[in-house]
Homo-oligomer: A and B are copies of this chain.
Amino acid sequence: MSWNNIVTDILKVDYPIIQAPMLGVSTPEMAAAVSNAGGLGSLSVGGLSPAATRQLIHKTKSLTEKPFAVNLFAHQIPAYTEDDLEPMRTLLLQLANKRGYDLTGADLANFRFYNHLNQIDILIEEKISLVSFTFGCLDSGSIQALKQNACTLIGTATCVEEALFLQQQNIDMIVVQGIEAGGHRGTFLEDMPLPQVGLFSLLPQVKNAVRIPCIAAGGINSAETIKAAFELGAGGVQVGTAFIGTKESQAIASYKAKLNKAKDTDTTLTKAFSGRWARGIRNEMMHEIEQAGIHIPSYPLQNSLTATLRKLAQQNNDSEYTSLWAGQSAGKTGLMHTKEVFRNLVEQYEALYR
């Protein structure tokens, strides 16, 4: 049986299976393992500094000679004053204190923010051939520059209107993110309520609306879900949560343990950690921030404000005070190597459908 289709042709991979970029969870090791196994690994560099971006690219290149995608955040950086952040800063200091973490001297002000505009030149210099992005659409200058350097562009849409927008901007492929997906919503058209469309409804409607290939994201964790995504018109699939439990994942042990026993209803959408809607397993930090009833600064402000507390929690293997991104098909992920998770998907698919 052949997996070849337009997506494998464009991505130059054996299998149209993409490892979802998961900033803070995925690693160069994870991306390289998936690319080496014949899929497409994704390196997350969204919002990172130019130096960190280049370093992670070099690291990934040292682990694979296969193509991998570099994933950017195409968000705007909002105007703000330090005063705007004060109520949340106060709350976070209270929460840290309550939980026994010392934020004295922690960096909760004067942030330096980056977005894709600080990274495009590096991607071109590093001859990255596949660039994916979320939280928006790259600006036309960046699109043009990357295209002139033979780069394939993969956007993220959470509704038909966003997919049409990406196609109009000359993007080559669309990750269609169902409401099932873990982590941040890719939503970027802001004059509407947050799209919360299930993949069963979203994928066929996007497929019917656009000419470019669609990658299904959200709930994909088995041969059957891959097959169903193909039936609904996907040319490929993106798998995230199933890789969070792997040895190549940065997720702390207590996060992996919660993920492994997560039920279908254990996740929810929240803005508490980052200021952008994202799906994760409910925990105390989410609850405390939401029920405080104070304004949550928008992304990336809130993300930077909570970063130190999340980092301290991670150092203490404390799953109550860091984000536990997960999709609605978390559960029973086990602790395997990335390569095994990937091979299991491929082999189970081939066993069932060849």
Interface residues of A (CB under 8 A from B): 159-161, 178-180, 192-193, 195-202, 204-205, 218-220, 222, 224-225, 227-229, 231-233, 263-265, 268, 327-329, 331
Are the CB atoms of B204 and A329 closer together than 8 Å? yes
Shortest Cβ gap from A103 to chain B (Å): 30
What are 30 A-B residue pairs whose CB atoms fall within 8 Å in the complex?
Answer: A159-B263, A160-B263, A178-B198, A179-B179, A179-B196, A179-B198, A180-B197, A180-B200, A180-B201, A192-B265, A193-B268, A195-B264, A197-B264, A198-B198, A198-B199, A198-B219, A199-B199, A200-B218, A200-B329, A201-B327, A201-B328, A201-B329, A204-B222, A204-B225, A204-B329, A205-B329, A205-B331, A224-B231, A224-B232, A228-B229
| Chain B residues, Cβ within 8 Å of A233 | 224
Are the CB atoms of A200 and B197 closer together than 8 Å? no
Are the CB atoms of B263 and A328 closer together than 8 Å? no
Since A159-B265, A196-B196 are in contact, a sample of 17 more A-B pairs with Cβ atoms closer than 8 Å, ordered by chain A residue number, is A160-B263, A180-B197, A200-B219, A200-B225, A200-B229, A201-B218, A201-B219, A201-B264, A201-B327, A201-B328, A204-B222, A205-B329, A224-B231, A227-B231, A228-B231, A228-B232, A231-B231
**C-alpha gap A202/B231 in the complex (Å):** 18
| Chain B residues, Cβ within 8 Å of A193 | 265, 268
What is the oligomeric copy number? 2
Q: Given A180-B197, A196-B179, does the pair A205, B264 have CB atoms closer than 8 Å?
A: yes
Shortest Cβ gap from A325 to chain B (Å): 15
Shortest Cβ gap from A226 to chain B (Å): 9
| Chain B residues, Cβ within 8 Å of A202 | 264, 328
| Chain B residues, Cβ within 8 Å of A328 | 197-198, 201-202
**C-alpha gap A205/B232 in the complex (Å):** 19
| Chain B residues, Cβ within 8 Å of A180 | 197-198, 200-201
**C-alpha gap A147/B140 in the complex (Å):** 65
**C-alpha gap A222/B192 in the complex (Å):** 27
**C-alpha gap A200/B218 in the complex (Å):** 8
**C-alpha gap A157/B178 in the complex (Å):** 20
Residue of B nearest to A162 (CB): B265
